[in-house]
Amino acid sequence: QNAKLQESQKGSADALAKKGTELSELTTQITALRQQNAKLQESQKGSADALAKKGTELSELTTQITALRQQNAKLQE
């Protein structure tokens, strides 16, 4: 009976060690995914900022085009 108990405890210890290893591997994967996610978010923020800047530039150019068309129309009168 004592031998069976020891064998059972050894099995439990092995299973626990295996679970500990799996947990460590998953923790490493989670850390890597979080870092990747942070980089992607930073990249998207940069893209969003660039897009907003281009939108502002486009709006300014549209305003300039409108003003030039009005000026051109007056000169043609």
Residue ranges of the chain with per-residue pLDDT less than 50? none
The string of pLDDT tens digits covering residues 50-63 is 999 999 999 999 99
> How far is it, in rounded angstroms, from Cα 75 to Cα 69?
10
Instruction: Report helix, strand or coil for 54.
Output: helix
> Does the pTM exceed 0.85?
no
Give the DSSP letter of residue 74: H
Predicted confidence at residue 55, as pLDDT, reads 97
Terminal alpha carbon distance of the chain:
112
